[in-house]
Structure 1
Amino acid sequence: MTQHGFHDGSDEDDVPEWADRIKANMAGEVRRRRKEMGWSAQELADRCEELGHPIPRNVIANMESGRRANLPLVDVMVLAAALETYPVCLIFPVGYVEKTQELPFQHLVPTWDALRRFTGEEDVPGYDAGLVPDFELHASLVRTALAALEEEEQARFTAKTATSRAEKEEAERRQAKYADQVVSAKYRLRYLRRDLREEGATPPHLPPALGDVDPPEPDADTIQEERL
């Protein structure tokens, strides 16, 4: 199949249909990855069945040869897991396909660029990233808080075991510095999690060391007294 009417008004003949190109890219990468692992199509089918979503050998063979008309998303996810890779790496085989097409009637772009836009790593003007930036910030704050907690504990131990006044004072200075970082990260986490809840979202799980970030929930007796 060919497509015409590119977004800039130009026409190109003999350009594969966008859907055909994407399927061909994925078929080639599934085949390459399967052979790299030394598996037959049957062995890949067996692994898919072990994962709980059977994909028969003939379906895999038809996909790799281009005879299968479509490929459901659930198949992509299971094939990626079976091949021990990521779904996006099957759709956009970076390094194995130089250029690809992101949408119908668009010109070819580097596969690396297409992958980064697909995952949201590269911002697209006007696109809504949903709550992904908030969750990324949450993960960053958690890492910062945990690292600062560890550094604070190490500085506390050093202060207790210091053999000189200068060593103790330096350790106490470091301890206070990291304690401030912990407080700052926890403060930002608390309000970020509050904002997420106000958006109707469920905040990510917190590790036990940061269990005091969320304010304690009022007990039932307190709530009942406030209503009276």
Structure 2
Amino acid sequence: MTQRDSDHGYDEDDVPEWVDHIKITVAAEVRRRRKELRMSAQDLADACAELGHPIPRNVIANMESGRRANLPLVDVMVLAKALNTPPICLIYPVGYVEEVQQLPFTDATSTLRALSWFTGEGRELGADDDMLRYFRAHHAAEQTVMTARQDEELARYHAKTAPNATRKAQALLNQAHAAQKGEAGKEQLRRVRAFIRQAGAAPPLLWPDLAAEVDPPGTDPDTTEEIDL
């Protein structure tokens, strides 16, 4: 269900400036989420205090009513944790607001598109952070290897317990495909990790057994091959 703009404190005839627009959107989403969880303003204040960053009940009430002049990022982060939601969903509440103004002097865009820009996923919007892309590619390749290992183990079990030759042959074929997929994932990990190193950063830690296969001792991990992310 899409929440109307008027529920967030403004309408087409009374559009606030961009900064106010962001504050109103966050405040409305905090209020909506708090009520969804059946939390009072005091409950939310207590939860923030337990997280180590107290936000008094009157501050929360002033924010929700539009009387608070500023909205620190640290407050958004803690409020999001207390409300069991990602901070980005307070700023860009996908599903509850259809459009937002992404930046000053820009036309309204879909909330999902603005969220993708903020998180660096919307490359079509101009985001081109190579390191962010490398780390995402690293995570994807690592997941590919882990999934392939599970599939290979399952296929190996089916091959051993197959009731007939046909089932066994299919299981062995599945095992080979999974092994091939795992090797491709490890090769992608090697390439991504090399590019991360070349950029002067440290690649993420790997499980010891996977690290032994991807970065064996005594090897040169650097490469100059092109990488397709």
Common fold by TM > 0.5: yes
- Corresponding residue for 2:120? 120
Mapped contact 1:62–1:68 kept (Cα < 8 A): yes
The aligned residue for residue 103 of structure 2 is: 103
Output aligned runs, 1:101-180, within 5 Å. Answer: 101-162=101-162, 164-180=164-180
* 1:10 matched residue in structure 2: none
Question: Once the two structures are aligned, what percentage of the paired residues are identical?
Answer: 56
| Per-residue Cα deviation, 1:35-77 (whole angstroms, up to 9, x for no partner) | 2211121111100010111111121111111111111111100
Change (3 A) 1:167 1:119: same
Aligned length: 207
Question: How do residues 38-77 of structure 1 correspond to structure 2 at under 5 angstroms?
Answer: 38-77=38-77
Pair 1:212-2:213 in alignment:
yes
Change (3 A) 1:115 1:166: closer
Whole-angstrom CA distance in 2 between matches of 1:177 and 1:91: 43
SS at match of 2:179: helix
Query: Offset at 1:91?
Result: 0.8
Q: Secondary structure at the match of 2:42?
A: helix
Equivalent in the alignment of 1:3? none
TM-score by length of 2: 0.79
- Aligned partners of 1:169, 1:113: CA distance in 2, in Å? 47
Letter in 2 for 1:135: F
Q: Give me the whole-angstrom Cα distance separating, in 2, the residues matched to 1:156 and 1:98.
A: 49
Secondary structure of residue in 1 paired with 2:124: coil
Secondary structure, aligned partner of 2:123 = coil
* Larger Cα-atom Rg: 1
Amino acid at match of 2:24: A
CA RMSD of aligned residues (A): 2.4
Distance verdict in 2 for CA 1:38–1:176, change over 3 Å:
closer
Following the alignment from structure 1 to structure 2, what is the Cα–Cα distance between the partners of residues 26 and 162?
A: 57
Q: Runs of 5+ in structure 1 lacking a partner?
A: 1-12, 219-228
Structure 2: 5+ residue stretches without partners? 1-12, 220-229
Match of 2:194 in 1: 194
Distance 1:149 1:106, change over 3 A: same
Aligned residue identity for 1:113: R
Is contact 2:26–2:91 with CA below 8 Å preserved after alignment?
yes
Q: Residue 164 and residue 178 in structure 1: after superposition, are their counterparts in 2 closer, same or farther (change >3 A)?
A: same
CA distance in 2, matches of 1:167, 1:95: 46
- Give the CA deviation at 1:99: 2.4
Q: Tell me the TM-score normalised to structure 1 length.
A: 0.80
Give, in angstroms, the shift of residue 168 of structure 1: 4.1
CA shift, 1:24, in A, is 0.6
